[in-house]
Structure 1
Amino acid sequence: MKKIKILLVDDHAIVRKGLISLLEDEENIEVVGDVSGGKEGLAFLETQEVDLVMLDLNMPEMSGMETAKHIKKKHSKTKILVFSMHSDADYILNSIENGVDGYLLKDSDREEILNAIDIVYHGEKYFPPAVSAILVQALQTKTKKPSGGQTSQTSVLDMLSKKETQILKMIADGKSSQEIAEELDLSIRTVSNHRANMLKKTNLSNTAELVRITSREGL
């Protein structure tokens, strides 16, 4: 079994020790390093293969945002999962703009942490409902700005997987779940699950509202 190689980057030793304790018994995960800052993290990535970096945002010398930017520039295949105490929309939006693949709050439980690692490692984005709600609210506020105002390059679409985006586009084109299932060679139940997951991720009540928001972003 190929193990997910993880690097922990956090200036609080107690946080790193807690994560190591949580992850060390997982058969499919190996913590290959833990460092206290962004510069140390970048140096580590030059010497050892890492699949996923769990990254704090507020750190001395080099912030998590700056660290994420450098990682994506030099190690584009390495996934980044933010592990932060900050639930402020600006932190979340800036993190996404700097290329992170997921965002977890430090009060997340073990099951959610493991789920996020697995999802991000396999190429999907991960934003738990609490973070998605903050993000959607911020994006909805931005869409109400007068024309000519600067808006963030981040979109609700960033929270969706490629398959979910594909299905959403077909919904926007007026296709039914049955038609989508037949065209994509999926079961209707699978399509329904994708629709439910999209609403859960974005904290919206129906797909019509999701289509309305994302159509403004060039869906």
Structure 2
Amino acid sequence: MANKIKLMIVDDHAVVRKGIINLLEDEENIEIVGEAPDGVEALEGIKELKPTIVLLDLSMPRMTGFEVAKIISQKYSAVRSIIFSMHNNQEYMVQAVENGAMGYLLKDTSKEEILKALDTVANGNKYFPPTVSAMIIDGLLNHKKNSVATNKKETSAIVSTLSKQEKVILNYIVEGLNSQEISEKLNLSVRTVSNHRANILRKTQVKNTAELVRLAVE
């Protein structure tokens, strides 16, 4: 028998985590090695649990699924992530891939499709819902890459408008630190860090931290 897929489930709703565990715990080729209520705890657990795949909720407190997927892809090359979302949105699927995720699953999907997705990603391939063609995602990605080439000068100009302190905080955000952790690093109040984060979002004209991280790493 092939090696078991070691699965970690990350969702801020305990009932969702429990539901997935109940659904998959009897599968012979799947071992559920852990669960976490948010991305911060997930990243702490990955070091010890060494999962094959992390199933990531998209909307969570402290860190989004996109942010967690990005850090996993940068720090843990042997671990693959799948975004597990209620949003059937191609833009989100593109963002998932851009942030290092290997797949995108909808929360109303069947057990059979979840198993297919886990098997596909465990074998090193990307997985999207059956209604979405991988070719469409690839096309959107290529279009974005072409746009990035023309936007790099603009990105550089935007980042240059940040103060020295804001640039330091931006670097910590990219590393995955939350406001509390950044405040401890810089000996600032959480409120001060939050104000800086708000200023960074305003100056860079992005909507959320996931977009900010993407802008910064460009």
With normalisation by structure 2, the TM-score equals 0.61
Do the aligned residues in 1 keep the contact of 2:13 with 2:37 (CA within 8 Å)?
Answer: yes
Report the number of matched residues: 149
Shift of 1:88: 2.0
Aligned to 1:119: 120
Q: Which amino acid aligns with 1:64?
A: G
Aligned to 1:41: 42
Output one character per residue of 1:26-78: Cα deviation in whole Å (capped at 9) or x when no partner: 01101110111000000001112211100111000011111011111110110
Aligned to 1:8: 9
The separation in 2 between residues aligned to 1:17 and 1:138, in whole angstroms, is: 36
Do the aligned residues in 2 keep the contact of 1:5 with 1:31 (CA within 8 Å)?
Answer: yes
Change (3 A) 1:108 1:66: same
* Percent sequence identity over aligned pairs: 50
Long gaps (5+) in structure 1? 151-219
SS in 2 for 1:33: strand
The separation in 2 between residues aligned to 1:4 and 1:43, in whole angstroms, is: 20
The separation in 2 between residues aligned to 1:137 and 1:74, in whole angstroms, is: 24
Aligned to 1:110: 111
Shift of 1:128: 2.3
Give RMSD over aligned pairs: 2.7
Shift of 1:130: 1.9
Do the aligned residues in 2 keep the contact of 1:42 with 1:67 (CA within 8 Å)?
Answer: yes
With normalisation by structure 1, the TM-score equals 0.61
The separation in 1 between residues aligned to 2:11 and 2:123, in whole angstroms, is: 23
Which shows bigger deviation, 81-90 or 117-126? Answer: 81-90
Higher percent of residues as helix: 2
SS in 2 for 1:46: helix
Output one character per residue of 1:85-144: Cα deviation in whole Å (capped at 9) or x when no partner: 11222211111100111111111101110011011001111112223389559839x59x
Aligned to 1:99: 100
The separation in 2 between residues aligned to 1:75 and 1:54, in whole angstroms, is: 15
SS in 2 for 1:126: coil
